[in-house]
Structure 1
Amino acid sequence: MKTLAFDVYGTLVDPLRISEALRHLVGESAAEIASLWRAKQLEYAFRRGLMRQYADFGRCTADALTFALEASSVSLEDADRQWLLQCYQALEPFADVVPALQSLRHQGIRCVAFSNGPVSDLEALLGHAGVLDLLDDLVSVDEIKTFKPDPAVYNYLVARSGSRHHDCWLVSGNAWDLIGARNAGLNAVWVKRSETALYDPWGGAPDIEVPDLLALAAQLSVQGG
């Protein structure tokens, strides 16, 4: 069975949209802090994976927020920090996500979320975004206690989905994630949401490149799934 595994942060929802919540607390520096927060969130996950010092993605997110605020010389009360972390579980989906998933499900394609986030966080986030019921499963790296792009997490995805490596497609807006998937023998769909986005010059090009998920759904429909 063909499986489409959708990365969550950066593919189904936009983590940089947290700048809208940040703006209420930090003003004009919101976008800069949001960008640093996201960068450090990923860095901390990479480092913990390499060090074999696992802590879930929520911990990485909270620690990254602390760093981003301190680096920006911003001091917030604990209640405000907690509010920001709660807002992170209420990010809105990209506009194409719901109609694209509806189309893919109508085509009979198995669609799962595949994320660094723990299942409880994914349930809250994707439930709020209105996409939880459009997914066949939620696959989290938390279940094997390491992070993307460790090959173990992509192999776990294949096993969990009941698919085979050559029938399993990672759909992501994050090039590093796709390179990790290709390294483990999966197929890669790059959602290039920005014309200025660059794909890493190593690790192999993606198998498919689309500007959004609706374009992917249309392409698969023409190909017969």
Structure 2
Amino acid sequence: MIRFKTFITSLLISLSLISGAAQAKEAEAKVTPKVIFFDVNETLLDLGNVGKSVSAALGGRDELVPYWFTTMLHYSLVGNEIGQYNSFAEIGIASLEMIAKQQNIPLTSEQARKAVLTPFRDLAPHADVVEGLKRIRALGYKMITLTNSSDAGIAAQLKNSNLAQYFDGSLTVQNLETFKPDLKVYEWAQKEMNVAPEDAMLIAAHAWDIAGAEQVGWKTGFIIRPGKALYPLSGKPSLTGKDLIEIAEQLEADAK
């Protein structure tokens, strides 16, 4: 009888420990940051008009538009490595001129400048963005844009897209003269917002941006915009959704 009571006691203790561990694991799995940082281009704003403008500048060669964007990203990272900073817009213009020369397409510097700058500062948000931002803001999170754009560039974009009202501030790489996903950018951003890495989160539609934020200990939310995919050698994002509304729904569930 004594042995049976001892067994029951041990069993109850074990079950209690298992239940406590499960509750702790569930609490740890919940995504409840204090500050949410948002990438802007492609994540919030639709670059369709930029693509059309760049394609027109390249003689209607639609297939060159993704090449132009990746070239722009590539040379922003080249700038990081060699210590040479130019604004994202300047790099975009230079990349467009480079591709035109590679493809023997006539294009003047002024035409390249107009093709990039004119549409880039007047972009519309994706269809899901306004509702998604409203729902996330209703949860009480501090919301900050963190972009590779310049200070003037993001100010124009948020104003023209009517999204400025949803954010508590904007941070750009212009202040560091270093582009994401350099880890210094995320570390600087968290210090600016006085938030610990584990209390920061990045929402982005770029696998390379998610990888950078993850590396410094942030929570991450990946939006799977058309044509986007995660980098298999990086970790799994905290949240994943086809649009910002799905990310908002998961944040709402975790806030309960």
Q: Which runs of 5+ in 1 are unaligned?
A: none
- Compared CA separation, residues 147 and 26, structure 1 to 2 (3 A): closer
- CA distance in 1 between counterparts of 2:100 and 2:135 reads 41
The corresponding residue for 2:82 is 51
- CA distance in 1 between counterparts of 2:57 and 2:83 reads 35
Q: 1:177 is matched with which residue: 206, 209, 212?
A: 209
- Work out whether 1:133 is the aligned partner of 2:204: no
The corresponding residue for 2:224 is 192
**Alpha-carbon contact 1:16-1:35 (below 8 Å) kept:** no
- CA distance in 1 between counterparts of 2:103 and 2:46 reads 22
Superposed displacement of residue 73, structure 1: 2.4
The corresponding residue for 2:41 is 9
Q: Which runs of 5+ in 2 are unaligned?
A: 1-32
Q: 1:95 is matched with which residue: 119, 123, 127?
A: 127
Secondary structure of the 1:90 match is: coil
- CA distance in 1 between counterparts of 2:82 and 2:144 reads 28
Number of aligned pairs? 223
- CA distance in 2 between counterparts of 1:137 and 1:64 reads 30
**Alpha-carbon contact 2:206-2:228 (below 8 Å) kept:** no
Q: 2:182 is matched with which residue: 112, 125, 150?
A: 150
- Give the TM-score normalised by the residue count of structure 1: 0.91
- CA distance in 1 between counterparts of 2:254 and 2:229 reads 27
**Runs of 4+ with >4 A deviation:** 23-27
Query: RMSD value over aligned CA atoms?
Result: 1.8
Q: Indicate the percent of aligned positions where both proteins have the same amino acid.
A: 25
The corresponding residue for 2:97 is 66
Superposed displacement of residue 24, structure 1: 4.7
| Structure with max Cα Rg | 2
Q: 1:124 is matched with which residue: 142, 156, 171?
A: 156
- CA distance in 2 between counterparts of 1:37 and 1:214 reads 29
Q: 1:83 is matched with which residue: 91, 108, 114?
A: 114
- Give the TM-score normalised by the residue count of structure 2: 0.81
**Alpha-carbon contact 1:3-1:110 (below 8 Å) kept:** yes
